[in-house]
Structure formats: structure tokens, C-alpha cells
Amino acid sequence: MTRRTPLRVVPVMLVLAGVALSGAACGGDDDEPSATTTVTATVTETVTAEASPTSSETTVTDTAEPTPSEAADDVPRTYDAALARFDALGQEPATYRTFATPDGDIYCVLDDKVITPGCEIGDGAIRDPGVCGDAPTPFVGRIEFQDGRATPVCNLDSIRGDMPNVIQEDEAARAGDVQCLYEAIGMTCISLTGTEGFFLRAGEYVIFNAG
């Protein structure tokens, strides 16, 4: 019998409000109320017992960043869904140890002696205070395979180097134990040795595993 754990959505809201100073002593009746800026990040966890008792998916969307409309439903949200996209591609992945998208916004390192395999986004890092905690920045800008686990990183550094290969839309790349697929909706990467992976684009990332 398949047991599904209900979807848990945990909203995380950061509100920055200006404080209006009263000018009563100086005839402050003309003071205007200050503006309020609201940024909302939504963390969604889904636990499904079909793959294994520890199967999980974490989606973080920073609503301060624009999110493609129709593309949202096409985002892979499980390891199996990601694997199916590679199978549907119908071609062998290119062998790229490092590569970037044509616009240079997403940069990936798959096989390096020093750098942990992962992908970094330049414009559109995702605000996620729940993950970043006391880190120097509240923004997740990179996803890495740390000890085999897809892990969000609240980074101020960069893995970017010079003259990477350019991965084209609907092209896959593989090196070491990781392969990635670049599509119009974003970058999907999976581990070839474990059921771990992630999806990354401006304003959103998804972590999925099946074990």
C-alpha cells in the first residue's frame, strides 16, 4: 500500500519596512508614510513513500524574481522525472568538464580536482533564509553534490573560470559522476552513482532524491 505524506508548505517572509519619523515638534503633518517592500520565499517539501521511506523533494522559489509562467509545470521535481528527460533526449551527452549556458548565467563544473561538482547561477540567486541561516548571504547561488548529496550553497565565492564550453539548449553534458541537461526552463543535473539531483534557474531551485 502506498502512503503519501501531505504536502507541507512553509512560507518564509522577509519584510523590510521604513520607519516613519514623527515631526510633530516641527509641524510634520506633511510627512508621507514610508514604502514597504515584501519578499516571500516558499519552501515546499513533498515526501512520497513510493520510491523509498526517505524520498523527498525540496522546492524553493523566490517570488522577488520573475518565474516563467507556463514553464513552471514542466520543471522536473523527482529524480525519476529528471532521469526520464535524459532518456527522452535520444542522444549521448557531450563530455564537458566545465560549461556555461549561452548567456553565461549558469556555470557548471562537473569534474575537477579541487572544485565540488555543481552549478552556479549568476543573476537570479534564490533568497532562502531557512537554509542560509547565519551565512554571510541569505541567497542560494549554487547547488553542489557534497559527498554525493545535492546541497544548496549560500555562496559569496564563485566557481567560474575562463573559456568554458557552451552548452546549447536541449543538450546534455556528462563528466565524472554527474550529468546535466540544459533546456529553456533551466538546468537539470543528476548523480550517476546515487539517486540525487537538482534543478536550477533564476529565482528557483529544486532538490530531489530517491534514497
Is 165 a residue whose pLDDT tops 50? yes
Q: How confident is the model at residue 37 (pLDDT cuts 50, 70, 90)?
A: very low
pLDDT at 142: 98
Q: What is the mean pLDDT of residues 170-194?
A: 97
Q: Is the pLDDT of residue 29 over 50?
A: no
Q: State the pLDDT at residue 60.
A: 73
Q: Give φ, ψ of 92 to 5 degrees.
A: -75, 140
Helix (H) or strand (E) holding 84: helix 79-89
Give me the mean pLDDT over the 31-52 stretch: 35
Which of 64, 164, 63, 145 is closest to 105 using CA atoms?
A: 164
Task: Report the pLDDT value the prediction gives residue 72, as an integer from 0 to 100.
Answer: 54
Rounded to an integer, the average pLDDT of 20-46 is 37
pLDDT score, position 211: 62
d(CA 131, CA 5): 22
Condensed to tens digits (0 to 9), the pLDDT of residues 104-162 reads: 999 999 999 999 999 999 999 999 999 999 999 999 999 999 999 999 999 999 999 98
- Nearest of 202, 208, 162, 204 to residue 189 by alpha carbon: 208
CB 57 within 8 A of CB 206: yes
Quick one: pLDDT at residue 83? 94
Res 55 pLDDT > 80: no
State the pLDDT at residue 66.
43
Residue 20 pLDDT: 37
Q: Would the pLDDT of 19 be above 50? A: no
Q: What is the pLDDT of residue 44?
A: 34
DSSP 123-176: S-PEE-HHHHTTSS-SEE-EEEEETTEEEEE--SS----SS-EEPPTTEEEEET
Q: What is the mean pLDDT of the chain?
A: 77
Q: How confident is the model at residue 5 (pLDDT cuts 50, 70, 90)?
A: very low
Question: pTM score, two decimals?
Answer: 0.69
β-bridge mates for residue 132, sequence order: none
